[in-house]
Amino acid sequence: MTIHREGYKMIAATTIVFGIINVSFFYFFSYASPVLGWSVFAVTLILLIFIISFFRIPKRKLTIDADAIIAPADGKVVAIEEVQADEYFTDRRIQVSIFMSPLNVHVNRNPVNGEVAYSQYHKGKYLVAWHPKSSTENERHTVVYRQNGKEILVKQIAGAVAKRIINYLKPGQQVKQGEEMGFIKFGSRVDLLLPLDAKINVKIGDKPKGGVTLIATW
């Protein structure tokens, strides 16, 4: 396991705060109230471990398949439905939504090989990630991948807690399946808009792993 570069500053800052709080408590309160001092230590240690864990990148054997659309994120499948596209596309598409809790790995990966046909950041609200309007009203970043004339859309969506979406892709860029496309800090959601003839390989409630789980074939 390694730590994602997006977490270096936050982990460093959290470690400094952890040190200051605990040194202060043990210096001023440990004699008068040792229980309080140890309680503060335990709570702040759990917070530090959580922050470090949030930015983890576990070692995985990534799935590479030119005919497959691989999960761009860890999480839970919360929606599979036919929708009217509201950005880039003008037709109807199959939407697969993956909800990411704060405990999930938050690295986002390219679901396919191909060219980045579109990459656009949108400012927005911070509704809870499962809110029906979060995909159109929340802070989000949309990427469209083009492979052999076929296109899919991936939308990184901020939630009530997540307030920073990071995306590394630019239009015209050639990308490889499984490589990093971006990162979302804290709870969030990722939507995929797939062609209607895509064969879906997951169901609601499944817990895909980014870069590993087969979402669909096309």
Residues that are catalytic: 188
Q: Which residues contact 166 (CB under 8 A, 6 or more apart)?
A: 6, 182, 183, 184, 185
Q: What element of type H or E holds 3?
A: strand 2-3
**What sign does the CA torsion over 209, 212, 216, 218 have?**
positive
Distance CA 93, CA 155 (A): 13
What is the torsional sign of CA 9, 6, 142, 130? negative
Q: How many CA atoms lie within 13 A of 14 on its CB side?
A: 18
- Write out the E strands in 123-207: 140-147, 150-158, 165-167, 174-175, 180-184, 188-194, 199-200
Strands (E), 45-139: 56-57, 68-70, 76-84, 92-100, 107-109, 114-122
| Nearest to 79, CA basis, from 93, 98, 92 | 98
Q: Give me the sign of the Cα torsion angle 145, 97, 77, 139.
A: positive
